Amino acid sequence: MRRRPWRMTFRYAAEGVMYALRTQINMRIHVVVAFLVIAAGLSLRISRLDWLFVSMAIAMVIVAELINTAVEAAIDLISPDIHPLAKAAKDTAAGAVLLAAVFAVIIGIFVFYRPLLTLISQIF
């Protein structure tokens, strides 16, 4: 078996991310929200520790969405017909995305609550 160049693994990974962005509306929503959260963090000058939590939450949601996309594609290939186990696999993968997104919202509340409260009090 011939080994492929190491750099090709990055290309294949990038192709996977691009596939998810092209085909999955939820992936595009997650990326847009991530950019908005990053802009808010820069504007509100959150701490380095807060950036750590925000970055982890963003990464977790996007990774979960990528895994969900992979599971859905594999299930569609293996079982094009409706099957209870295919549904269970897809629903479980989607549930992982939901939990990651809920966690990210909770992190967002913890990180942005005080800075937003301070900003609002300065405006009014």
Question: Is 65 a residue of the active site?
Answer: yes
CA 59 – CA 57 distance, rounded (Å): 5
Dig out the tokens for 122 from the structure: 């300065």
Question: Among residues 20, 41, 65, 69, which one is catalytic?
Answer: 65
Cβ atoms within 10 Å, residue 30: 23
- C-beta atoms surrounding 97 within 10 Å: 22
* Residues tagged active-site: 65
